[in-house]
Amino acid sequence: MKQNKIFSFIIVAVFSVLMFTGCNSISQTNKASDDPSLSGTYVFVAKDMQNPYMQKVYEGFNRACNEFKAKSLYLGPEAPTSQKQIEIIERLIELNVSGIAIAANDENELQPALSAAMDAGIKVISLDSAVNKDSRQVHIQQADPERIGRELIRSAHEIAEGSGGIAILSSTKQAPNQNLWISWMKKEINENPQKYADTPIVKIVYGDDDPTKSASEAQALAVDPSIKVIIAPTIIGMKATADVLKDMDSSIKLTGLGLPSKMAPFIENGICPRMYLWNPVDIGYLAGYTLNALIDNKITGDVGNTFSAGSLGEKTITADATGGTEVILGDPYKFDLFNIAEWKSIY
Ligand code: RAM
């Protein structure tokens, strides 16, 4: 394991130098003898590298790669922007990696770079936050987006006891996964106008998955008298909002998608009566095995393909809602006072 850590460090160091020495130096040294290629390497490109959720995804991705003895690399922007992800993808093409798994900061803007990667023979999947169907061979879907969106708004409605404004503190304005979940929240309300007549969505704000910006957005919501419940469909927004509501001794309640390890105190003190998530480590692990099946030509990414995903067992590729394909990890878990004690030490 130690050797693998050293190897990963060297790879990241090499990549960092190549990233910042500009394109010319890569093309000039791109000779067979001293080609700094990363061939054989599986890369997870995060929304942003600081996010603890993304680090847990990589933990699973790396575990899978160790099991089938492939090199893995963890990369991503400092802040969740699509431009930085494009730059990373372009470098990875030059470095001749074998596969890219990406949590996208935009559904469509990555398409030229990811299409170029696939044209160069690199296998491409998205996970957690999908690119459009033409930008990848398959998407790793943590759970049914419709189920996530509807569960979150129903939960907020129940916590509000049927009356009071609901605010959403999301990630970035372009985040494909959060925007899909929010669209299902709105659809649930639009399809049930009577039920939600007194619990409308009164505000949607964006914390950019930045703890500081999320906290300042939460402070503004906390003084809005029309708001009774906040939904944060991001683990960064959840933790930042919970801290603010506690510090301000607010009566506003919180639900959303949170890491049990970070949110346990707020479930125990009642600020967050319940929340949902899935295991991010399993997402990364499943992504690693999916890439491996593509790279080894065991699957093409088409509907009906089946493959072994290590300790997760046999998985089948199904149609997604956009005409593309996906592999679904499972159902979202609900975390509350009755089960948080067992989960807070797991992830
Ligand atoms: C943040 C990210 C990620 C999302 C989780 C719930 O970590 O926005 O994409 O899936 O929250």
Question: What global pTM score does this model have?
Answer: 0.91
Distance between Cα 33 and ligand 1 center (Å):
41
Query: How many angstroms from the chain centroid is the CA of residue 131?
Result: 12
| CB distance 143 to 328 below 8 Å | yes
Residue nearest to atom 6 of ligand 1 (CA): 234
Which of 68, 103, 79 has its CA nearest to residue 89?
A: 103
Q: Tell me, using a 6 A CB cutoff, whether residue 48 lines ligand 1.
A: no
- Nearest 5°: the CA angle 230, 235, 241 is 40
Report the DSSP pairing between strands 165-170 and 201-206: parallel
The residue nearest atom 10 of ligand 1, judged by CA position, is 128
- Please report the pLDDT score of residue 15 as a whole number: 57
pLDDT at 25: 29
- Confidence (pLDDT) at 9: 53
Contacts of 63 (CB under 8 A, 6+ apart): 281, 284, 285, 288
What is the number of the ligand 1 atom nearest to the C-alpha of 209? 8
Q: Of 235, 239, 281, which is best to mutate to test ligand 1, by the most ligand atoms within 8 angstroms of its C-beta? A: 235
Report the candidate in 168, 56, 148 with the shortest Cα–Cα distance to residue 334: 148
Q: Residue whose CA is closest, atom 4 of ligand 1?
A: 234
Pocket lining: 263 vs ligand 1, CB cutoff 6 Å: no
Query: What atom of ligand 1 comes closest to residue 47's alpha carbon?
Result: 9
3-state secondary structure of 13: helix
User: Ligand 1 within 6 A of 279 CB?
Assistant: no
Residue nearest to atom 8 of ligand 1 (CA): 234
**Residue with token string 């309300």:** 189
Q: Which atom of ligand 1 is nearest to the CA of 80?
A: 8
C-beta of 174 in contact with ligand 1 (< 6 A) = no
Q: Is the distance from the beta carbon of residue 51 to the nearest atom of ligand 1 less than 6 Å?
A: yes
Q: Are 285 and 277 in contact (CB under 8 A)?
A: no
Q: In angstroms, what is the span from residue 302 Cα to ligand 1's centroid? A: 26
Could you identify the residue written with the tokens 């809602």?
Answer: 321
Query: What's CA 263's distance to the chain center, in Å?
Result: 18
Residues 6+ positions from 59 with CB-CB distance below 8 Å: 281, 284
Assess contact for 29 and 18: CB atoms under 8 A.
no
258 CA to middle of ligand 1, Å?
Answer: 9
**Ligand 1 neighbourhood includes 47 CB (under 6 angstroms):** yes
Query: pLDDT of the chain along its 347 residues, tens only?
Result: 455 555 455 555 555 544 443 333 222 233 334 556 899 999 999 999 999 999 999 999 999 999 999 999 999 999 999 999 999 999 999 999 999 999 999 999 999 999 999 999 999 999 999 999 999 999 999 999 999 999 999 999 999 999 999 999 999 999 999 999 999 999 999 999 999 999 999 999 999 999 999 999 999 999 999 999 999 999 999 999 999 999 999 999 999 999 999 999 999 999 999 999 999 999 999 999 999 999 999 999 999 999 999 999 999 999 999 999 999 999 999 999 999 999 999 89
Neighbours of 252 (CB within 10 A): 23
- β-pairing, 138-141 vs 325-328, is parallel
| Model pLDDT, residue 37 | 81
Mutation test of ligand 1: which of 44, 49, 50, 51 has the most ligand atoms closer than 8 Å to its C-beta? 51
Side chain identity at residue 211, one-letter code: P
Determine which residue's CA is closest to atom 5 belonging to ligand 1.
234
* Minimum-distance ligand 1 atom for the alpha carbon of 258: 6
